[in-house]
Amino acid sequence: MAVYALGDREPVLGKDVFIHPDATVIGAVTLGDGVSVWPGAVLRGDYGTITVGARTNIQDGTVIHCTFTEPTVIGAGCVVGHNAHIEGSTIGDDCLIASGSVVLNRSVIGSGSVIGAGAVVSYGFTVPERSMALGVPAKVREGHQVPEGHLEQNTELYFQNGQYYRANLRRLDA
């Protein structure tokens, strides 16, 4: 796996973390217990900090960054889909940030919420807890509340898959 210190900024990895060998984690990044980071994902804590809560999965091709003044905080039990981009924002527990979505600086995503595939959450936008935001720019879908526990099966599957990969992944072309 590609885990790098940058000067005195070093990643902190919890217990049972899986980082795929083709993912990159740089600098001030804290990964909680059971986090999985999949191929092509980049978490770059070069200027600020990135914190990812327990059992969250960061899927293939995702980019997570921060700024000097805006940390990125992702709660526990989240699913960050393929090719998402999260920058300088706060995401509560048990959220789905779907494939291809973008969550921009100073945005706040309430716990239990869903950001739809391809959505763009504009700078400083707030999504209330257990809400769904869709579109470009993302708008909260009125009258729709995301049910509790909507991600439990997915987060458990990704945790188990990460453990399987930790034990069984081996490169054949080296």
Which residue ranges form the domains of the chain, and what is each CATH number?
Answer: 2-167 (2.160.10.10)
Q: How confident is the model at residue 144 (pLDDT cuts 50, 70, 90)?
A: confident
The proportion of the chain whose per-residue pLDDT surpasses 70, expressed as a percent, equals 99
More confident site: 146 or 19:
19
Confidence of residue 149 (pLDDT cuts 50, 70, 90): confident
Residue ranges of E strands in the chain: 2-4, 12-13, 18-19, 24-31, 36-37, 42-52, 57-58, 63-65, 72-74, 79-80, 85-87, 90-91, 96-97, 102-103, 108-109, 114-115, 120-121, 126-127, 132-134, 139-140
Question: Which of 106, 108, 124, 23 minimizes the C-alpha distance to 67?
Answer: 106
Q: What is the pLDDT of residue 1?
A: 67
Per-residue confidence band for 174, with pLDDT thresholds at 50, 70 and 90 = confident
Please name the residues in contact with 173: beta carbons below 8 A apart, sequence gap of 6 or more.
none
Mean pLDDT of 22-26: 98
